[in-house]
Structure formats: C-alpha cells, structure tokens
Structure 1
Amino acid sequence: MADRRARAGVIVAGVAGLVLTGVAIVFAHLSGVSWREWVDTYAITNIVFGVGFVLPASVIGWYRPGHLVGTLFMISGLGHLVTAAGGMLLTYWLQHGWPLPLERTLVTFYFAGWQLGIGFLANIALLVFPDGRLPSRRWLPVLWLTIVAGLYETVSSVLSDGTFFDHPGVTSILTVGIVQPNLADAVFDLLFIPLNIAWVAALVVRYLRGDERTKRQLLWLILALIAMILLNTQRWITGNGPILLLLSFVMIPLAVGVAIVRHQLFDIRLVLSRTLLYGLTLTVIVALYAGLVATFSMLVPPTVERGAQAGAAIVVSIAFTPVLLLMRRLTDRAFYGGRSDPARTAQQIGQTLHHEDDLGGVLDRTRTALRIPWIELSTADGALLAQAGTSQEGPTVEVPLRYRGDHVGTVRVELRRGERSLHTADRDTLGLIGTPLAVALHALQLTEQVRQARVATVEAAGAERVRLQRELHDGLGPSLTSVAFRADAASNLLRSDVEAAGRLIGEVRADLRTVINDVRTIVYGLRPIELDQLGLDGALREHVAAVPRQAEREIAVEVEVPHPMPALSPAVELAAYRIAKEALTNVLRHSSARNCCISLRIDDHLHIDVSDDGSKPTRWRPGVGLRSIAERAEELGGTATAGPAANGWRVTARIPIHGNKA
C-alpha cells in the first residue's frame, strides 16, 4: 500500500512537472521571447535543470518507492520548473498589465523555486547518495550546516527587495526590504567552501568503505562530476563562462538515477577509465603545447614565433604516445589494479602466500589487486576452501589449478559488470598466482592425509591397548591371582598336611599351564606365530586344515596363492591373514556353503578374494566382522567390499604393496 501511494505521488509530481514545462514554453512563445532572452534569463537552464531532475526522480520513485534521493530530486526539479514557468508568466503578464499583487506573488515563487534545486536539496541528495542515508552519524553537522545555508539563501531571496530583471515594483510579496549584510554574505560564501569539500569527502568515504555495488554506483556519479567540471573549467576559474555549459549539471541527477536503479547497465569502470584516459591525455598534451609555445616565445624573436609553434607541435606529437601509455598505465592501475603488470602482481601475492596459511586473506588481496567483485577457491572434488568479496550474481569463470599434471583445485572469479569474458591480463595474473596456490592445495591435501593417518594410527593403537588391557585383566589377572593364593596355601600346608599341599601344587601347575596358554593366545593375537614360521601361504593353509575339526558341517576350502610368493611387509601379511581368516569365519558361521575358495593375486596390489557357493540372503547388513575387514584394508590405504555374488557370497580386498614393502 505504501508503494502504491509513493508511485501515485510520483505520477502526480511528474504530471505537475510536465504542466510547468508546458506553461513555460507556451507563455514564452506568447511573449515573443527570443533565443537570447531564453538564455540570458536562465529560462532554458531552469527548464533543462527541472526536467533533468524530475525524470531520474520519477524513475527512482517508481522503482525504489520512498527513496530519499528520489524525493529530494523531485522537489529540486519542480523548484526549477516553477522558476522557469514563473519567469515566462511574469514576462507575459508584464506585457499585458496584470495586477501587481499577482505579479509579486509569482516573483516570490520565482525567487524561491530555483534556490531549492542545485543550491540546496540537490546537495543533500549527494550527501545521502546512494542509499538515502548519511555515511554515519558523524556527518550530521554537515547535513545541518547544508540545511542552514540552503534555508538562508532561500529565505533571504524572498524577503529581499530584489526585482524581476529590474522591473520597478515587481518584488516578492513577502519582501520586508531586507538588505543582506555584507558580513553575512561573506560568511555563507565562505561556508560553502568547506561544505563542498565535505560533500566530496562523503563520497570518497563511501567509496573507500563501500562494497562492490556501492563503488560501482559512486563511479557513475564520479563520471558525471568529472565531465561537468571539465566543461565548466572556465567558470570555476574566472567566475564566469558560457551559460549553456551549465546544462552539463543535469548529468549528475541522470547519473544518480542510473546508479540507483540500473547501476549494472554498463561496465562503468571501463567508461570512466577511458574518459579519464583521454581527458587527462588531452589535458597534458594541451598544457605541454601551451607551455612550449610560451617558453619558445620568450626565447626566440617575434619573427620566428610561427616556427616556434611548429616546433612545439612536433615535440607534442612525439610525446603523445608516451603520454598516452603513461596515462593508460595509471588509469588501468586505478580501476583494474595490477592486471596491467601480471608478473609483478602475481609475485607480490605469491610472496604473501609463502608467509601465511590464510587462503582467505590471499584471495582477498587477489580480488583487491585485480578489482574483481568476488573470488572463490575450491578443491578438485568441489569442497569450498575460501572465498573473498561479495557476489553480484554476475557471470563467473573457472581457472583450474594443476600440480604436476594433477587437477588439485579451481579458482572461480566473478567478472566485472559489463565484461563477458575474462580479460587476457586477468587470466595471465591468475595463471601465475595459480602455481603457488596449487602447491599450497597439494600441501594441504598431504597435511590432511597425514592427519588422517595419525588419527587412524592413534585410534588403532588405542583399540589395541584396550583389547590387551581387557584380555590381561579378565584372563591373566584372575588366573595369576588364583595361582598366588594356591601357592600360599600349599606353603602353609607343607609341614602339617603334605597330601593336601601336593594337591594344591597340582592345581597351581594346571593354572600355570592355563596362564601360559592365555599368554600364547594374546601373543598370537598380536601376530600369529605361524606367519613368521610358515609365511602367509603356509599360515593360511594351516588354518584351513583345521577347519573340518571346527565346522559343524562338511565344507571344502581351497587356497590359491601365486608361486613363488613374493616378499611382503609384515603389516600387509598380517592384514591379509586377518582378512582371509575373518572372511572364512563368516562363511562357517553364517553361510550354508559347501565350497569356499581363498584366492590371492599380486600386481601393484595384493588382491584377496574369498568366495563361497552359499545361498544369497534376502536381507543383510554389515556386522562387526565385515567392518573389521574394511578397517584393516583402509589402514594400509586399501579397500574392501562384501556382498552377494553370481554363485553365492564374496568378500574382496585390495591392499597396495608399493608403499608397504618388506
């Protein structure tokens, strides 16, 4: 509802502006005003200013209802149009003798209207551009001083006894014959100097602290200000100049309107950089030519001044290309950062990468150096590592990072507004930066792998300690305690009851045998002794030979291993033995198979395959045994799988042997 009312107000104000413009044009025609009078009375200036403010204000108010800049511009534009229409009406009424009170009322609006424009509200609009708010509360004094200065100029103009272009008696109806003190005029004239500096400083502060969107919006205004200043250079220097050049002021509200509503329309950096490039180049060349001519005129006689001018022109023509290249380098560095010198930029960023591990900080310096909106670094599998800047949802380009031919990551950058592809210099810079980044990513991957290996080692060692603690505490502890108690009892009975002491010693002997068996079991659990005595092939065959005695049903187990069996590291042998043994145990416990085959195959890996011809389960889930198989393979960098096969059930494991040699 609020947006509807705001848009309705925009329509009403726009219609009012259209009517005022029409009134000014119609009554100028009826009054027979010449073009020179249009210019000298500032009528054409006020009309252009009014339309130049009302049009962007209408666009801002329609697409950004309630935006303060749009409201201020609308009032400013209507003020200038009131002055233009009032001036032409007064011209017509003075020719036809309309009543003096009506004329004086119109003079009041004539004097007050234009004061609301470029001298008052437009400056406040620039102070709160582009978001409609002050940069911070610290700028409130500047706002209040701007308001005081604007109100002083407006009120003093309608209370003074000034006339409409020296027509006797045609003064403001509110005039009290006030004469502005020279001191007050001087104070407020001096006040506008720091105020102008403060308005510009506010824009500079916003640019330095703003995000990419804010900077792009401000660049539109900066472009308009530069163009206006260049066109009115004479007026700023001498205090006077061609009136029509003041029309260039409308570029400011137009640029503000584009910045607020359509700041992404063009690559404003490209437009502004090229404007500065050729503007500065032309200024330097003209200044150089004028300086050379003046210098030659003082050094040579008047008869050869024409030759001096020709010599100055030759010098300027020779200097044009170096000056242009210098200006291009300066403007490119100001707007596009270090892309004009990719090697130097990459070297600086690469040095910071070597001195710190903060990838986000490196990306932020890269983004700042190249003046790009947003940059992201991810691993080869797409995991985000770091990013910098704020995305404007524009097109992006990916630059792959490679280390020794392997894809280790990707740098993704968002293009500047208006660009359709990554500039060659930007790509060269990112390519140079990509080398240290790829090395850093590879180092991060190695670090992560080492960390995971350490974690796995610590967890495995901890689990083994827990198992040993449990077996010693639950097995050997009670047995040894029993042996100690029986030995004490036997010692006490040696003199009184030899027979009872003998029985106790026999029990101690039996308990010690049990303890010895428990110790042997624990030792074999750490590493089966048959592996050291028989090797992997012999240990598997010995274990398989005992299967008929352990199985509740008849089952044939076959072992297939390569001959001769190559030397394997103790860790690989132990893992293979445990995996095959656990897989065979699962067959004995959970399968209805009559035949089972344990097969070993070696290339760059040790392949373990345990298959049976049992019936396939309809539903199953991995248990402790299968998880143990997978963990043993993964500890050495391998993999393991289990599940139904074509003719039954199958467990496979693959363990690398190059990194695990004996």
Structure 2
Amino acid sequence: MSRVLEPVGVAVVSLLAVAASVWLDLSTTAEERAAAFTEPATATALPGLLLAAASVAVLLALPLHAVGRLLGAVAVVWTVDGALYGWAPYSLAHDLPGSDVAYWFIARLGAFLLTGLVGLLLLYPTGRLLPGRWRRVAVTVLVASAALPVMLLLAPDSVVFSAGEPVGSTELVSLPLSDDAFTVVLRVAQVLTFGAIVGAVALVWTRHRQAGAHERTQLRWLLWAGIMCVLMVVAAGTLSLGGIVTTILLDLAVAALAVSVAIGLLRPGLGDVDALVAWTLTTAVVAAVVVAVDLAVIAAGTRMLGERLDERDVTLVVLVVAVVVYGPLRAWLGGLVRRLLLGRRGDRYGAVSALAARLETTGSVDEALPALAGAVAETFKVGHVRVDVLTPDGGLLSATHGSAPAEVQEIDIAYQSEHVGRLVLPVQGFRSMLSHRDQGLLVDLVRQAAVAIRARLLASELQESRERLVIGREDDRRRIRRDLHDGLGPVLGGVALRLQAAGNAIESDPSRARELVGLARTEVSDALDDVRRLVHDLRPPALDDLGLEAAVRQQAERVRSEVDVTVTAVGAAGLPAAVEVAAYRIVSESLANAVKHAGAGAVDVRLDAGATALTVTVADDGRGIGPDVTAGVGLLSLRERAEELGGRCEVVCPDGGGTTVRAVLPYGERMPG
C-alpha cells in the first residue's frame, strides 16, 4: 500500500500547488507582482508538474526506485516553490501573513533543486551510485552540490535579498560574518555547487563507458535531455529574450528532462535515441552557425546602409538581400556543417554512387576492401573502420582505415544469406550512433561492396580452377604419353619382333616358332590390359556399358560385404558425359571413405536429376569428421570435381551422427534418354 501512497502523494501535492499557483496568478495584478519582485507563479510551477508526472510513472512501474523518489521530491519542492511565488505578492497586496515564509522558501530552500539535479545525474539509471572508487568521488560531488543551498540557509537577509524585496526577517540561523565576508563565502559555495554539476556530468560519462548495451541506451536518453537543457539555457541567455519566452524555453528544458528520464527508465527502446541525439547535436550546431552568419549579414548591411536609409528601408533591403542572395548560401552552409559533423550519411544516393565509383576503379579484392573501409569512414565520419572478408578456402582478408579505439562493434556482412565477413566500427562517440536510417545506408553500402568483393573472389577462384584444369589436363596427357611410350609401345614393338622371328622359324624350327607365338600372345594380352586401364582412367567403361545408375549399383555391390549400401536414382539417364563421370567418381570416393575411415554400418546413396542439375547425396552412419580434422586429398577432390562443372560439394556431419556428402552438378540441355 505504501508503494502506491508515495506516487499518489507526489501527484496530489504537485497538483494542488499548481492549482494554487493558477488561482494566485488570477488573483494578483502585474503591478502587485512587480512590487513584490516575483514572476508569474504558474510558469514557475508547471515544470515541477512535469517532473511529478515522470516521478509517478516511474514509481508505479518501479516502486521505491531511488530516481523516481528523487524526481518526486524535486517535483514537490518545485511546485511548492511556484505556489509561494504567487503567495508572496498576494499576501503583501492583501496584508496577509506568510510573505516572509514564502520569501525564505524561494530564496533559501529553492536552491536545493540544484542538489536534486546532481543527485539525479549520480543515481540515474540504476538508482545507485557508481561502485568502487567512484563511489567516494560521487559522494564528494553530492556534498559539494549542497554548498550553496546550505550557505543560503545561513546567510543574512542583507546578502540574500540584495534587490531590497519587501519582507520581514527570514534569518533562522546566521553566521557571525560581515556582509562582504559572507558574499565571498556565497561565491565560493556557488563555485562548489556548479562545479558539482560538472563533476556529476563527468561521472555520467564514466558510467556510460562502464555500462552494458541496455544501460548505455538509458544513459543516452539522459544525454539527449542534457543537450536540450543546455540548448534552451544558451538560447535564453544568448538571445536575451527575457520574460515569458525565457520561461517557456526553460520549461521546455525541464519537460525534455522529465520525458527522457521516464522513457529511459521504463521504455528505453521506444525510439531511436542515437538518431535523436545525433540529429539534436547537428541541428544545434547548424542553427548556431546559421544564426551567427545571419547576425553578421544584418550587422554588415546596417553598417553600410544605415546612414543613408531610415529603419524601415534598411530592414527591407536586408530582407531582400537575405532572401535573394543569402538564402542559397545559407542552405549550402547548413549542408556543409552537417557533412563536417556526420559525414555524408544524409546523402544516401551520393554515398552509394561514390562507393560504386571507387569499386569500379579497383582491381583485386585487396584493393576493394580498403575502398569499402574508406567509403564507410568518409560517409559516417568515423575514425576507424575495419573490413574482414572470408575467402572460399577459409582464409581471411582484412583492410583497416584509421587506428582502432578501445571498444568496437561488429556488423556481419552477408551475401545471398551467406556470411562472407564483418565490418568493425567504434562504439564511443555520437558519430558512432547509427540511426535506423544510418543502418539502412550501411547495409546498402556493405551489400554493394559484398557483391563486388564476392564477384572478385569468384573470378579469382574461377581463374585458379581454370589453372588447375589446365595443369590436370597436361598431367593426364603426360601420364598417357608416358604409359603409351614406355609401356604399350615397347610391348607392341616386342610383339612385332617375336612374330617376325616366329615366321622365320616356322620351317626350320616349328617348336621355336610356336614358343615365340605364345610369348607374343601373352604380351598382347598384357598390352590389352594396359589399354583397358588407360580407357578406364579416361572414362569408366561401366558408364557406357551399363549407364550411371547401374554403374553406381555395381560400385555398391563391390563394398556390400563390408557395409550395407542403398542406392536410389531418379531421372539419372541421359545425362551429359562430364556429369556422369563426376557423379560416379564422387560416389566411389564417398563409399571408399565410408568403408576405410568412417566405420559406417550403412550408406544411403541418392541420385536426383532435376531440370538443370544432378544432386548426388551419400549419407553414412559412421563416426563423422572431427572439427580439428584437416581436409585430405579425397575430400578436396570431391569439391574440385563439382567445381569443375560450376557446381558445389559440401561435406557435413549432422547432429544425429555420420557424414553426408552432397554435390550439386549443373548441366545445360539434357540429352534424350
């Protein structure tokens, strides 16, 4: 029950205080407020109501959370302070008691709002101070933030109310110091309190560096609120607007703080806070530069023409010049500042086309990777980019732009749902905050580069494959020439000589002639065996004699005594010769591996011929292949036979055990079967 009473109490007190402020403003005149040296009470109390709403939302969702309770305390003090702003002129005008209490609260107790702000910075978002050595620093900062409020409680009226407000005595306790001495003490207390605010901001940055991803997102909501507060305060002070406009700007700052703290604690993923921070910073800098140049143009025009023209004519001339001449320059200047701060991320088409132009001028992958790294660094204005790309053989190519920071984030690079590498970017810095739009642009850049890099890798792989084919062809020619020259040639020459000798000995030594003919017959038989071996190496005869399916079944029969083999074939007739040879060799090698290395008890062989490719699958129930086993000549030959035809072959070990060899062998128009 107490958990509900606390937010209810904050809401009731704040609403009553704001309602009292409205009534008191309506009951007093501007002259009465001027005589009492006060501002409208409602404008003062409303920001406190916003803080109260944030406190109630936090406490209802996170009961007893320190940040929610602190927000509630600040809201109550703020709204009551606003109500007393209205009571001071009302009580003086109607000769009612309590004006001295109102002035005491406004001038002395209201300064504790600064301590509340410091406490909020130190406790957000966890509700606890930083641990370890930073806790002592945080406590010191918190104590320093109370220096000014405490000194105001102890200061004499003559120092606190230097403007001569019409009040009675508000001194509860005072130190025995002269006014001049106490003025110096107050100045020192101001330095300590405002220095504590700076220290609290520094500790927020320290917390951000130590935080995880979720907490960093929460802290960035607070960062955005801080930026808004600074911008509103600077705008109010620089432009010297005064009055109600200044009050509205400060109210907007408090509203930003209340909303961002509530969102950061309750729903930090509600919006793209990184994009919001980057946009706010960029817009603020652009606005500051443009306003500064605007003022310079107006000042220059006034100086040049002010003596010749009256005020109305000067204003008209300056407006015409600003619209006709300075308008395009102003737009260009804003774009230039944005590019200097955030790079070219706002120009999606320009960034993609610039990368395309870079990639067109590069040759190898070694040149394309630095081009991608440089394009990302230039587009997003980050100091470090690293690109890693996986090569088909399992290697890694890398290119780096700039020096690596302490913390980095990795983004995967994919091509047609296949992981081909990663992109490494810094974590710290607002330029590293990637909005959803920025992430989309990054994906476009990486996708375009991935296509180009993948194409270059495939081209290199194709060139290497062609070189292997040429080398293999020449090796086969050399082997066939050697076999014919060193084996079959001498045998046939010997046969010819023996037959000639036998012919000469037929009449003189018939028995010797028969012996020579027998030797020739043996040598011819050996030569026929060599010819069969050569023919089998070029193309297994079983493919021509039996067809692919029957030839594979014949291979299965040869190992059936050692392993149970099942063969299934769908549409495996009438395939191109090269496809049949590759499929036959892949099945033969896979069966040999299942028998020799896998210790399999059963093997399932499947040939599935589709419209454009033959899929060969050989699955066994053996021990599989360990992750630390290096691919041998047999496994490499499987991949090479598939790649020679423009296909692919993969060897995997399913979770259920065993090994599965799957090859896809493409072909063009099928032969009639």
In the alignment, which of 19, 22, 32 is matched to residue 22 of structure 1?
A: 19
Q: Are the counterparts in 1 of residues 118 and 145 from structure 2 also a CA contact under 8 Å?
A: no
Structure 1 Cα separation of the partners of residues 62 and 203 of structure 2:
22
Amino acid at match of 1:351: P
Query: Residues 174-216 of structure 1: CA distance to partner in whole angstroms, max 9, x if unpaired?
Result: 5567656122122233345544544554556666776562564
Q: Does 1:603 align with 2:577?
A: yes
Inter-CA distance 579–446: structure 2 relative to 1 (3 Å threshold) = farther
2:120 maps to 1:116: no
| 1:155-186 deviation line (CA, Å, top 9, x unaligned) | 23333342897445342445567656122122
Structure 1 pair 657–85 and aligned structure 2 pair: CA distance change class (3 A)? closer
Structure 2 letter corresponding to 1:115: A
Please show how residues 422-433 of structure 1 align to structure 2 within 5 Å: 425-426=441-442, 428-433=444-449
Aligned twin of 2:513 = none
TM norm structure 2: 0.55
Match of 2:326 in 1: 319
Letter paired with 1:342: A
The one-letter amino acid of 2:412's match is: E
Q: Which residue of 1 aligns with 2:337?
A: 330
- For the residue of structure 2 that corresponds to 1:232, the secondary structure is helix
| Residues 107, 173 of structure 1: 8 Å contact kept | no
Query: Corresponding residue for 2:170?
Result: 171
**Amino acid in structure 2 at the alignment position of 1:324:** A
Q: Are 2:1 and 1:11 aligned?
A: no
> How far apart are residue 106 of structure 1 and its match?
6.1
Match of 1:500 in 2: none
Report SS of the residue matched to 2:411: strand
The superposition leaves residues 44-88 of structure 1 with CA deviations (integer Å, 9 ceiling, x where unpaired) of 343123213212222222334444332322211111223233454
Shift of 1:429: 2.3
Deviations 1:343-364, CA, capped at 9 Å, x for gaps:
5678699307799747799799
Q: Within 5 Å, give how 1:391-540 maps onto structure 2.
A: 416=435, 425-426=441-442, 428-438=444-454, 532-535=530-533
Instruction: Give the direction of change, closer, same or farther, for the CA distance of 1:106–1:129 in structure 2 (3 Å limit).
Output: same
Structure 1 length as normaliser, TM-score? 0.56
Match of 1:569 in 2: none
Hey, what does 1:61 align to over in structure 2? 59
Q: Deviations over 1:326-383 (max 9, x none)?
A: 42353366457646352567869930779974779979989x99xx998333465656
Q: 2:221 aligns with which of 217, 221, 228?
A: 217
Q: Is 2:45–2:80's contact at 8 Å kept on the other side of the alignment?
A: no
**SS in structure 1 at match of 2:560:** helix
Q: Distance in 2 between matches of 1:588 and 1:167?
A: 111
Q: Is the 8 A contact 1:60 1:67 kept in 2?
A: yes
Say if 2:73 is the partner of 1:75.
yes
Amino acid corresponding to residue 322 of structure 2 in structure 1: V
Residues 1:376 and 2:371 are matched in the alignment: no
Distance 1:590 1:143 in 2: 75
The answer on 1:303 being equivalent to 2:308 is yes
Q: Distance in 2 between matches of 1:653 and 1:232?
A: 72
- CA drift of 1:290 comes to 3.3
Gaps spanning 5+ residues in structure 2: where? 360-367, 374-385, 391-395, 428-432, 466-525, 566-572, 588-598, 606-617, 621-633, 643-648, 650-660, 668-673
When residues 376 and 11 of structure 1 are mapped into structure 2, their CA distance, relative to the original with a 3 A threshold, is farther
What letter corresponds to residue 50 of structure 1 in structure 2? G
Greater C-alpha Rg: 1
**Aligned partners of 1:373 and 1:416 also within 8 Å:** no
After TM superposition, give the deviation of residue 122 of structure 1 in Å: 1.2
What is the CA distance between 1:434 and its match in structure 2? Answer: 2.2
Aligned equivalents of 1:47 and 1:309: distance in 2?
39
Superposed, 1:636-647 pairs within 5 Å as 636-637=638-639
- CA–CA distance in structure 2, aligned partners of residues 273 and 446 of structure 1: 45
Number of equivalent positions: 491
Cα distance change of structure 1 residues 563 and 626 upon mapping to structure 2, 3 Å threshold:
closer
Query: Which secondary structure does the structure 2 equivalent of 1:302 belong to?
Result: coil
Contact 1:10–1:61, Cα closer than 8 Å, also in 2: yes
Deviation readout 1:502-549 (Å, 9 max, x if unpaired): xxxxxxxxxxxxxxxxxxxxxxxxxx998634238789xxx9xxxxxx
In structure 1, how many angstroms separate the alpha carbons of the residues matched to 2:575 and 2:248?
A: 93
Equivalent pair of 1:374/1:388 in contact (CA under 8 Å): yes
Give the CA deviation at 1:250: 1.8
> Which residue of 2 is the match for residue 342 of structure 1?
351
Deviation at 1:280, TM superposition (A): 4.8
Q: CA deviation at 1:622?
A: 5.6
Going from structure 1 to structure 2, the CA distance change for 1:240 and 1:135 (only over 3 Å counts) comes to farther
- d(CA) in 2 for partners of 1:67 and 1:326? 46
Distance 1:445 1:7 in 2: 69
Partner of 1:186: 187
Residue in structure 2 matched with residue 33 of structure 1 by the alignment = 28
> What letter matches 1:47 in structure 2?
A
Question: What's the counterpart of residue 557 of structure 2?
Answer: 583
2:282 and 2:562 map into 1 onto residues whose CA distance is 85
Residues 1:328 and 1:133: Cα distance change in structure 2 (over 3 Å): farther
Unaligned residue ranges in structure 1 (runs of 5+):
392-413, 450-527, 544-558, 566-571, 592-598, 611-620, 641-651
Q: Report the Cα distance in structure 1 between the residues aligned to 2:63 and 2:73, rounded to whole angstroms.
A: 15
Note the alpha carbon deviations across 1:102-142, whole angstroms, 9 max, x for none: 7766665454442222x221133134444445677676576
Measure, in 2, the Cα distance between the counterparts of 1:246 and 1:332.
30
Aligned pair partner of 1:623 in 579, 601, 610: 601
Alpha carbons of 1:70 and 1:304: their partners in 2 closer, same or farther (altered >3 Å)?
same
Contact 1:20 1:85 in 2 (8 A): yes
Q: Distance in 1 between matches of 2:184 and 2:397?
A: 55
Q: Which amino acid aligns with 2:182?
A: P
Paired amino acid for 1:74: G
**2:370 maps to 1:351:** yes
CA distance in 1, matches of 2:300, 2:203: 41
Please tell me whether residue 151 in structure 1 is matched to residue 157 in structure 2: no
Partner AA of 1:247 in structure 2: D
Partner of 2:487 in structure 1? none
- Distance in 1 (alpha carbons) for counterparts of 2:448 and 2:205: 33
User: What secondary structure is seen at the aligned counterpart in 2 of 1:562?
Assistant: helix
SS in 1 for 2:544: coil
> What is the RMSD computed on CA atoms of the aligned residues?
6.0
Distance in 1 between residues matched to 2:31 and 2:451, nearest whole Å: 68
How far does residue 15 in structure 1 lie from its aligned partner after superposition?
2.1
Call closer, same or farther: CA 1:319–1:373 in 2, change over 3 Å: farther
Quote the Cα distance in structure 2 between the aligned partners of 1:109 and 1:589: 95
Q: Given the alignment of the two structures, is residue 291 of structure 1 paired with residue 296 of structure 2, yes or no? A: yes
Contact 1:107-1:170 at 8 Å conserved across structures: no
**Alpha-carbon spacing, 1:437–1:338, altered in 2? closer, same or farther (3 Å):** farther
The SS at the match of 2:170 is: coil
**Kindly tell me: are residues 85 and 144 of structure 1, through their superposed partners in 2, closer, same or farther at Cα, counting changes over 3 Å?**
same
222 and 173 in structure 1: CA distance in 2 versus 1, 3 angstrom threshold: closer
Distance 1:84 1:429, change over 3 A: same
- Between 145-154 and 34-43, report the one with greater CA deviation: 34-43
Between the aligned partners of 2:146 and 2:663, the Cα distance in structure 1 is 87
Q: Distance in 1 between matches of 2:243 and 2:19?
A: 32
Quick one: structure 1 residues 77 and 386, their matched pair in 2 at CA, closer, same or farther if it must change by over 3 Å?
A: same
